[in-house]
Structure 1
């Protein structure tokens, strides 16, 4: 295995791409020592999540794209620019790629502003221009007021905001994210998902590739999903295709939460969304209360779904007509797959006794209910 290549064999054959909008990234490469051989494409200007079990090869793919690892077979390219092949590799600093990990890795001897300005300065921008870009990026992630602070005086969430700003200050074609929220508490991670989703969708959009084990990251950030197991590609598609109908045990576990996307109808501490004709009411988790038609995501556990043969009144409740599509035993419980009237799919968890009492079978009509306090609504 080759790591940290310093020079390309012939720089003329590896031209540095311009830092404009993102281009498609193709990885048709492998590293024998890591038992990774993949062939996958990451669409230009979209956000792609790489998912898979620990040791599947996700971080190896990021390493080959960033230049921290060199393939010993195949090639890695972004648009027309070949990043690496089996014999040569463009060094990391010559690739229009920014990488963000769970550790911010800010320069401790620099201020926040100078940390963010470092990338533009390294690309020969004037000090004044680099600082202007840095202030813009800090403002974009809600950290403008931190500009003059020492990097050592920040909280974990503040440090990660600054790290996001620093990664994007060079206007990279490709942005790599390796579990950037895993070291943060739930509330801080939720805020940063919102910040990052908004920033990464600004034009010109880079091509974004991120590794995560959190289904909320996938549903709230991703446009596309690539699934890796045992060093090989096992599937790719939209978020709904990959998590709505999981083809492997890992994807099934990853999609363990019921997640429905839609648009806001009413907002406040309690928000109502329209998910393709299905109305859901739950507790709003965003910083601000958005207006109608704002994209949103709802999340609720299968264990919170109650099933009844007739609709039960109560407030505040969500009640939907549904049809049983599948019943799957998992240990001491049974998972009930349901199709709602709008065509969306959710799951419920019942005991075998409850399944028998309700006389459930594939095709059975049923009413599904969830309390509003058990549904969380997130900005998307």
Structure 2
């Protein structure tokens, strides 16, 4: 994630900020400029960027719900920003607990959309394009007590469904333990499910399908049967030699989605490290610096080896820092050679697809 600065006082900002914590100026993210702008009201629902000529409106979810901080160009007829227009269904906000959970989902969804825009990937709303993307944020039905009442997170024909309970850290930790997962985050869900969507957009019926099958396996294998086998028997022995996670071993589609999500983890974290000017140089090793080249932008890197060169020492440092604070590894993954080749192929498809 980029670093942002207030256009009025130059204070450092976070991507989620809606006002500057130093001078109080209102802020809004312009997805066209990929920048968090300081804006002033001009009346009649119009805002102008400080020090610029851009005119905007606040996204309806910004203005009415406080669930967004993105802007809509004044020349755009849409009420919602490009991220909020992806929503097909939001939770019933008449239920008090839903409001906070939905806000957390929206915050992580905007991080996903930021990455998709930075990578130049298609993410048009499904309501505007037949092959577009849509999100359903749904809640379990408490009146029923069987498993059929549970909302299952997943993807189907361009629609990503997320159970809003995933935004509850207590529930998410319970599920992480139940599923024996070392890593489970809301942003991870968004990135994983988007992988299924981009399989359809970039791989299925394309010239990439054959090389993807060579690395990820047979996607024509019965999906439901494969998942049932995975949950009943667990992953194969030594799965770490071929897969980024145990779940990735269940089916080629899940291997692709897990690897896709991991690639998005990599480029976003590397951009943050680059923006902060982080260097990692172990005392007894050669220079293994992060972002040694000041022009290194991981989202625009054409050479995958450049990403790996910076990624491995950075994650080693992250894990060491976390352990020093008494926490588990921040990065509980091992990148075997075959996994690196899968990530390399994802990189090629994104940049050449």
Q: Is TM (by shorter chain) over 0.5? A: no
Relative contact order, higher structure (CA 8 A, sep 6+): 1
Larger strand proportion, structure 1 or 2? Answer: 1
TM-score in terms of structure 2 length: 0.30
Which structure dedicates a bigger proportion of its chain to helix?
2
Larger radius of gyration: 1
Q: TM-score, normalised by structure 1?
A: 0.28
